[in-house]
Amino acid sequence: MCRSICLKGSLRRLLLAVLSMVVTGSARGGRGVVDTSASPHVRFRNVDMDAVRWTEGFWAERFELCRSATIPALIQVMQKPDNSANFQNLRIAAGLAEGKFFGNDWSDGDCYKLVEAVAAVYWVTRDPELDRWMDQWIEVIGKAQAPDGYLSTQIQLTGRQRWQDLHRHELYNMGHLLTAACVHHRATGKDNFLRIARQVGDYLCTVFLPRPKELAHFGFNPSNIMGAVELYRTTGEPRYLKLAQTFVDMRGSAPGGSDQNQDKVPLRKEQEAVGHAVTAAYLWCGAADVYAQTGEQALREALARLWEDVTERKMYITGGTAALHTGEADRRLLKRGPRDSIHEAFGAPYQLPHRTAYNETCANIAHAMWSWRMLALTGEAKYADVMERVLYNSMLSGMGVEGKDFFYTNPLRRIKGAPLLSNDSAARWPDTTPASPVHCFCCPPNVARTLAELSGWAYGVSPDTVWVHLYGGSVFDSAGIRLVQKTRYPWDGQATITIERTPETPWALRLCIPGWAQGARLQVNGEASDVEVRPLTYAVIERRWSPGDKIQLELPMEVVLIEAHPLVEETRNHVAVMRGPIVYCLESADLPESIALPDVRLPRRPAWQVRHDPDLLRGVTVLETEGAVLPKSAPSSVLYHHMPAGPIDRIKLRLIPYYAWSNRRQGDMTVWIPLE
């Protein structure tokens, strides 16, 4: 079975690699941050990270922020021995320091995410300092590794037995190591981290390929599936793909699994998104990676079904995907047999509270990673649309505008004085030392690696085709084609793409038209194009191009009021405001002290002024309109009261992008605003 899959797989890989080189004329390639260059079952392959550079505008600014502020801050914080994720554990395991293990079980994995982020920045900047820093950390990681390849300091330093409790995150840690090592290898061409990863991979093959019964429910938070597929792609060793498949096959294969860990029901039979929102999306990302190699239909159908369940019934308007801090998978709503306690999890369909929304930054990022993978498998714009929604809203809200402090949870409303739930905090935090309100540092390096790698998400390549998934000032240079994209997106919907170099043979440019872009228009060399430009599709312009050709895309950025499905009870008679991909919010920092945010109402037909303020929150476009303020309501201690009589005042309202909230002073905020 394995041999035939492997043989077919390798043949396909070889054929596809040859084909893609012939068709695109590329001699490089195969160095995407997720390397699908030889994956047989993708619609397009991810671009070589060298092929795309952000040049100006929104994402270029955030890459620079990540390089200059976020990464230095994280390097410093993650060397603090009392941060909940810290490198000191690895130093101790390496015999280079004295002390005890401190922090969360997933601390090692968070350190590897930081190495991955640094490798991705190095890929662009070639800063030798970063290279030296990575080599130092990798040397320590190598020394911490057990002789048989195992590496998890929360076990090695505590005298615990391996593989006793899936919540110990052993596979999560080693999974992130595999991914980080592959990215490091592609970015630097070095083998020092990859050697360690191969030993981890070989060790995991020894333990898991025989499918021992007692390990049927490992693991939890399965970054190991993505890691094993990436190790296969990097090394070409079929056993690592077999390992990834085994991890997928194990899910739900034995009685005793849980909804929380998505292993009560086999993945291929699962009908609903349940349980922990990070572990779920990591599983589905890994399964999508396996599908890209094997093309197993049942897997793809399950993933498409689950993605629809999430995005049509369980996703916030910000792209956040976890409604609940704690709860139970309700068997009547979900028809799933015995109740199961869940936490940091999807809610029931349409259960989307604002103030107590969990929406862990990692869950949101994982949802974008999963959507990006589904996009590669299908070429369908609906996946790009959700990916973009997450990136501009619930991914970015996880970090402050100065790039040095972070949210773990991302609620859609904050009311001062209202109780906070598990690992929630009223303001972003720089570290998770014992004094911090939050005790988990998984999100910050996850934001960093996403910002560092995002240029690799923006374009794709298939035979005779270049795909544009995300807009931003950038240069694409690959396969004999050089494109220069200029745009002020997401503040402005115009994007101009100039062809600077092109082969003489015809090829197609596929441009993603987001779901919100009603009335989008396309011009080629100043003349209206007759290609179809419809929201939630790719507009395809195929022709023989010449250097100097210009494509102008206009995505109208109207301010729109959004209503939710009537079963989302918290949003009845409320609207959210969007402009382009950006979700807006009302924050008390923009209201006079005397006015309480819960008393503000939005008119049903607001007249908007759209204004870009370069000095506010590192430059944001704000939306202004006149709103209403109801007479002061009863003291907040009263549960029910008569609606107060008295005059309704008018007030000038200013809305800011949701991602930029809580950067001025602590106060109230809401995405959903009640209507007047």
Q: Which residue lies nearest Zn ion, judged by its C-beta?
A: 362
Stretch that binds Zn ion, among 339-347, 357-365, 609-617, 637-645 (CB under 5 A): 357-365
Stretch that binds Zn ion, among 283-291, 356-364, 448-456, 667-675 (CB under 5 A): 356-364
442: contact with Zn ion by CB under 5 A:
yes
Closer CB to Zn ion, 441 or 658, in the complex: 441
Q: What is the SS3 assignment for 499-551?
A: EEECCCCCEEEEEEECCCCCCCEEEECCEECCCCCCCCEEEEEEECCCCCCEE
Minimum CB separation of residue 84 from Zn ion in Å reads 11
Helix (H) or strand (E) holding 486, with range, is strand 481-487
Closer CB to Zn ion, 360 or 587, in the complex: 360
Closer CB to Zn ion, 357 or 479, in the complex: 357
Stretch that binds Zn ion, among 362-370, 544-552, 561-569, 587-595 (CB under 5 A): 362-370
The bridge status of strand 507-513 relative to strand 465-468 is parallel
Residue 658's nearest CA partner among 394, 401, 470 is 394
Minimum CB separation of residue 406 from Zn ion in Å reads 9
The bridge status of strand 574-579 relative to strand 582-587 is antiparallel
Closer CB to Zn ion, 113 or 264, in the complex: 113
Closer CB to Zn ion, 193 or 406, in the complex: 406
Closer CB to Zn ion, 131 or 360, in the complex: 360
Minimum CB separation of residue 288 from Zn ion in Å reads 20
Stretch that binds Zn ion, among 440-448, 548-556, 557-565, 664-672 (CB under 5 A): 440-448
Closer CB to Zn ion, 277 or 303, in the complex: 277
Closer CB to Zn ion, 443 or 585, in the complex: 443
Residue 157 CB coordination number (10 Å): 17
> How distant is the alpha carbon of residue 367 from its chain centre?
5
Closer CB to Zn ion, 443 or 576, in the complex: 443
Minimum CB separation of residue 442 from Zn ion in Å reads 3
**Contact residues for 147 (Cβ-Cβ < 8 A; gap 6+):** none
Residue 212 CB coordination number (10 Å): 11
Minimum CB separation of residue 429 from Zn ion in Å reads 13
Minimum CB separation of residue 115 from Zn ion in Å reads 17
Closer CB to Zn ion, 45 or 113, in the complex: 113
- Rounded to whole angstroms, how far apart are CA atoms 299 and 594? 56
Minimum CB separation of residue 361 from Zn ion in Å reads 5
- Rounded to whole angstroms, how far apart are CA atoms 598 and 576? 15
Task: Give the number of residues in contact with Zn ion, rule: CB under 5 A.
Answer: 4
Minimum CB separation of residue 169 from Zn ion in Å reads 12
Closer CB to Zn ion, 114 or 511, in the complex: 114
Give, as ranges, the residues between 594 and 653 that touch Zn ion (CB under 5 A): none
Stretch that binds Zn ion, among 345-353, 355-363, 496-504, 545-553 (CB under 5 A): 355-363
- Rounded to whole angstroms, how far apart are CA atoms 293 and 376? 12
Give, as ranges, the residues between 453 and 512 that touch Zn ion (CB under 5 A): none
662: left (phi over 0), alpha (psi -120 to 50) or beta: left
Mapped onto helix, strand or coil, the DSSP state of residue 37 is: coil
Closer CB to Zn ion, 30 or 319, in the complex: 319
Residue 655 CB coordination number (10 Å): 26
Stretch that binds Zn ion, among 226-234, 353-361, 418-426, 594-602 (CB under 5 A): 353-361
R_g over Cα of the chain = 25
Stretch that binds Zn ion, among 79-87, 116-124, 337-345, 436-444 (CB under 5 A): 436-444
Minimum CB separation of residue 247 from Zn ion in Å reads 21
Stretch that binds Zn ion, among 155-163, 443-451, 472-480, 556-564 (CB under 5 A): 443-451
Helix (H) or strand (E) holding 629, with range, is strand 620-629
Structure-token pair, residue 315: 């996703």
> Are the C-beta atoms of 138 and 122 separated by less than 8 Å?
no
Q: Which long-range contacts (CB under 8 A, 24 or more apart) does 516-519 make?
A: 516/560, 516/578, 516/580, 516/581, 517/493, 517/555, 517/556, 517/580, 518/556, 518/558, 519/556
Give, as ranges, the residues between 294 and 333 that touch Zn ion (CB under 5 A): none
207: contact with Zn ion by CB under 5 A:
no
Closer CB to Zn ion, 131 or 170, in the complex: 170
Query: Distances in Å between the alpha carbon of 236 and those of 10, 116, 199, 204, 564?
Result: 8, 21, 15, 17, 47
> Are the C-beta atoms of 120 and 183 separated by less than 8 Å?
yes
- Rounded to whole angstroms, how far apart are CA atoms 62 and 51? 19
Residues in the chain, overall count: 676
Structure-token pair, residue 143: 């020394």
Minimum CB separation of residue 74 from Zn ion in Å reads 13
φ/ψ of 194, rounded to 5, equals -65, -35
Stretch that binds Zn ion, among 106-114, 441-449, 595-603, 608-616 (CB under 5 A): 441-449
Minimum CB separation of residue 124 from Zn ion in Å reads 25
Closer CB to Zn ion, 442 or 577, in the complex: 442
In this chain, which of 42, 90, 317, 443 binds Zn ion, going by CB under 5 A?
Answer: 443
In this chain, which of 352, 362, 452, 576 binds Zn ion, going by CB under 5 A?
Answer: 362
Minimum CB separation of residue 93 from Zn ion in Å reads 23
Minimum CB separation of residue 250 from Zn ion in Å reads 24
Minimum CB separation of residue 526 from Zn ion in Å reads 47
Please give the residue ranges that form the binding site for Zn ion (CB under 5 A): 360, 362, 442-443
